[in-house]
Chain A
Amino acid sequence: MRRYLSKEYTFRRKIQVYEELFFRLIMLLASLLIALVLLQIVWSIFREGVGSVSWEMLTNTPKGGFYFGKEGGILNAIIGSLYLGLGATLLAFVTGLPVALFMNTWLAPRKRLVNLVRFTLDLLWGIPSIVYGAFGFALMIALGIKASLLAGIIVLALLILPIMIRAIDEGLKASPPGLTEATYALGATTSELSFSVLTRQCLPHILTAILLSFGRAIGDAASVLFTTGFTDNIPTSLGQPTASLPLAIFFQLSSPIPEVKERAYAAAVILTVIILIISILSRIFTNKYSRNTIKF
């Protein structure tokens, strides 16, 4: 009887081992596949574009005949994209942080409502950006606003707001109830808890949220397509139209002239490098600013 049982046991055990092996293999394959596709994208961008990246291109606005392969650069698009990305991220941060804090303090007792808000934000996160672009455009017409940097910043801020709020919210959710209790026990108000304790505890999450949002904002073409216009000049006020890297890529890629097409790839390289730098910075900052965070 005992021998029978132990046989049964070793058989089960064997199955478990194979099962484990099987799933590990699948996970490994999936990871490899994703890494491969990513590398392929980055590789093809760099292969096509790196040759055309030049100092001239980074430091000049387009000159006459630029779009036929002549002199000039895409400084207007680089600066425009930075303005758009930074402006939208700032706007989304100052509106999103209080919302995320509110959801996790004042609103927290109403769990179903908070979950509904989370669900809605996740839904908004999934909406294609062209819809935001169209919505922004409709709003601009209704309000009589011209295509401008400001309009682009507002639409991009709307686009990244769900990301900003939910990414901060995830950090706040992970903050231990004991920390909240300890802070209240000192006689702190809910705003003191929110802005002095929770924001510090979640600083790494907040930085991640900011950088995620910035990456999304600076890379998005569809929301700025109708809302910012396009110009060869660097905007000097919020009311002026602006160029951006995604649109520069989009317009130049559809050109039949090979030099212009190459420049589209060069612009893509620049955009990719900006996002890469942001990601690396985010890693560094996240490590630096998590030193105060209490780990549980």
Chain B
Amino acid sequence: MEANHKIRVENLSLRVNGHEILKDINVSIPENKITVILGPSGCGKTTLMKSMNRLTDIYPEMHVRGRILIDEEDILNTHKDVTAIRKKMGLLSQRPYPLPMSIYNNIAFGLRISGRKKRDLLDKRVEHYLKQASLWEEVKGRLREPASSLSIGQQQRLCLARGLAVDPEIILADEPTSALDPISSQEIEKKFLDLKQDYTIVLVTHILRQAARLADHVIFMYLGEVIEQAPAEEFFHHPRTEITRAYLKGSIN
């Protein structure tokens, strides 16, 4: 745990209609590592992730308190432009949501809204990010076709490329393989292992084996609370709490 902490969440609570969905969350997420958020469904994993890039802003019923520090800067209580905060993070959701435009424009969109509009530069960048998401070979001949014509697995990799194109430092991935077939899931997992050299990755999953394969660091949540956080080794081999042990044995779900 000597690594730098890219994200620190301090005393974060989130209420919806008087119902506390996140209860006093305190976690640290190390830089250039894969941090897995584990926990049974409904425990608040998605919500925690959404507060990290302020997607909670678009749900006015969500009341957020506490601090989230990214590079030591509180992103919750700031007058800084929220779009700049979000550009620091790429998001992969549970199922892919490509933009309703061509494959090319899915990548170029993020570049254009960041002010890069020169045609030859766009071409180069689009190719670069599609390669980074291992999608280039499959789509290089059909860049002008709609993204909706891709398979789900390809769409998810397109979403990854699209997220990388806004040049983030962090990748937030919310059960990114849950809609995918085993082969596509493997590709995404492999990609994450490559990408952690350059990115801080936060991965939500409820698949224990996936967590074991990928995690450097684990955060275990249960009913809106963080029960345990530890390096992966320690978490899987020496769980500290009774709930964690029960979860690892498969008796909570």
Contacts and interface: CB of A to CB of B under 8 A. Distances in A.
A197 B99 CA distance: 7
A176 B95 CA distance: 12
A208 B210 CA distance: 45
B113 A184 contact: no
Contact of B100 (A109, A186, A292): A292
Interface stretch (B27-35, B36-44, B81-89, B228-236): B81-89
Nearest to B95: A178
Interface residues of B, number: 35
Contact of A292 (B91, B109, B146): B146
B83 A182 contact: no
Interface in A58-89: none
Contact of B148 (A180, A187, A189, A293): A293
Nearest to B102: A292
A289 B191 CA distance: 34
Given A291-B146, A292-B102, A184 B55 contact: yes
A179 B101 contact: no
B153 interface: no
Interface stretch (B3-11, B70-78, B158-166): B158-166
B93 interface: yes
Interface of B: 50, 53, 55, 58-60, 83-84, 86-87, 89-91, 93-95, 97-102, 109-110, 113-114, 146-149, 159, 162-163, 166, 172
Nearest to A188: B113
B83 A189 contact: yes
A200 B100 contact: yes
B80 to A, nearest CB: 12
A182 B166 contact: no
B101 A200 contact: yes
Listed residue (B83, B87, B159) with the most chain A CB atoms within 10 angstroms of its CB: B83
Contact of A182 (B87, B93, B114, B149): B93
Contacts of B102: 292
A186 B146 contact: no
Interface residues of A, number: 26
Contacts of B98: 294
Nearest to A189: B83
B56 to A, nearest CB: 10
24 contacts: A109-B58, A109-B59, A180-B58, A181-B55, A182-B159, A184-B58, A184-B86, A185-B86, A185-B172, A186-B162, A187-B83, A187-B113, A189-B83, A189-B113, A197-B99, A197-B100, A201-B100, A291-B146, A291-B148, A292-B100, A292-B102, A292-B146, A293-B100, A294-B97
Contacts of A186: 86-87, 109-110, 113, 162-163, 166
Contacts of A200: 99-101
Interface in A119-178: 176, 178
A2 interface: no
Contact of B147 (A183, A192, A294): A294
Nearest to A108: B58
Contacts of B91: 181-182, 185
A3 interface: no
Q: Which 8 pairs, one residue from A and one from B, show the smallest C-beta to C-beta distance?
A: A187-B87, A185-B91, A109-B60, A182-B97, A201-B100, A200-B100, A187-B83, A187-B86
A12 interface: no
B100 A181 contact: no
A294 B100 contact: yes
Contacts of A110: 60
Contact of B166 (A180, A187, A203, A293): A187
B57 to A, nearest CB: 8
A191 to B, nearest CB: 10
Given A184-B55, A185-B53, A186-B166, A176 B148 contact: no
Contacts of B163: 185-186
Contacts of B55: 181, 184-185
Contact of B58 (A181, A196, A294): A181
Contacts of B113: 186-189, 192
